[in-house]
Amino acid sequence: MQLKRLKAFHTVARLQSFSAATAVTKLSQPTLSRLIKQLEDDIGVELIDRYHRPLQLTAAGAFFFEKIDGLLKELNSAITLTQKIAHPTDVLNIGFVPSVLYGLLPAVISALKQRLPTLEVHLKDISSFQQIDALKSGIIDVSFARFAHTDATINQLLLRHERYVAAVPKNHPVAKDNKQHLSLSELQDEKLILYHKAHLKNLSGASASAALSTSTSLLGDMGASHEPLLTLFAKQMATPHHTKVVSDIQIALGLVAAGEGITLVPASLVSVRPEQISYHSLVHEDATLPIYICYHRQHPHPAFNTLLEVIYNIYETRGITYRRLAVIES
């Protein structure tokens, strides 16, 4: 069975259209049709229902598509990773979640470039969950994440735990009193802005509409019990009475700045919008979230150990508590 035939079927099935597939594959419609017919003859099964408009797969075709989708992704990763091994480049692709960008990431990149002046660093804003596929396929070489995963091909090292702080509008009474060491129970009557939509979607597979709800009860059992900020409140026996869910941390802070509510963010974000937002430490020792560094277990980038050393140096210079892990044996 020819790979070209599989790819033709995969593209048409994925895009659910012959004409859309012509643009992607650069093959004409008759050529795509011929390749798919040859594939159907190879396996003796009709994959596309040709009498149906718009295009539909047969039940067997839908099953076959699902199977080869995973196989073709694996194949593409194998090719990318093999090329990286054969032709090591001086390029390091780093995936990161937005919250680390406001913290130490710029300092880490600048120190890394001083240590390895010929290294070209490319940065990609990508959620903790999407980082796994991107690492496996070789799109990124290393990543900084906030949530743990259990994928056996990806190594995940805990760098440190970072404290949460409360972000409140500048005209809020606690800001005016400059009250530090807040307890979450003091904040439960405020409208809490939640921003872990992508995280919840990946956990539950639930549709975005559940995560878009504007009250805690509408988050549903799965959303509410896994929502990281609600979990922090629940640990302190506190329940926010009003919540609003937005798509990311920048929007959450934008709404706080506009006086729409309060939120909790990692301490490294305290320099965001300081004219409109006041940040307050929390009394709870365990109100923290982790920072992980992740990489492909079998193919660590040659610059990985230097990157780790640079991060540890920055922690030491700035007096940041962290957990030192052994560098990878080369």
291 near ligand BEZ, rule: CB under 6 A: yes
307 near ligand BEZ, rule: CB under 6 A: no
268 near ligand BEZ, rule: CB under 6 A: yes
Helix (H) / strand (E) containing 86:
helix 59-86
Q: How far is the CB of 165 from ligand BEZ (least distance, A)?
A: 14
Output the six-digit token pair for 313. 């140096």
Residue 232: CB partners within 8 Å, gap ≥ 6?
A: 164, 184, 264, 284, 287
160 near ligand BEZ, rule: CB under 6 A: yes
Q: Residue from 8, 12, 35, 104 that binds ligand BEZ (CB under 6 A)?
A: 104
Q: Residue from 39, 105, 112, 264 that binds ligand BEZ (CB under 6 A)?
A: 105
Kindly tell me which of 81 and 101 has the beta carbon lying closer to ligand BEZ: 101
111 near ligand BEZ, rule: CB under 6 A: no
How do beta strands 263-266 and 154-169 pair? Answer: antiparallel
Question: CA dist 310 to 96, 107, 115, Å?
Answer: 17, 9, 8
Q: Which residues of 60-78 are buried (b: 16+ CB within 10 A; e: fewer)?
A: ebeebbeebeeebeeeebe
Instruction: Select the span of 7-15, 68-76, 101-109, 167-175 touching ligand BEZ (CB under 6 A).
Output: 101-109
Give the angle subtended at the CA of 221 by the CAs of 220 and 225, to the nearest 5°: 115
103 near ligand BEZ, rule: CB under 6 A: yes
Q: How far is the CB of 144 from ligand BEZ (least distance, A)?
A: 5
Rg, the chain, Cα only: 24
Kindly tell me which of 64 and 292 has the beta carbon lying closer to ligand BEZ: 292
The residue ranges that bind ligand BEZ (CB under 6 A) are: 100, 103-105, 108, 144, 159-160, 268, 291, 311
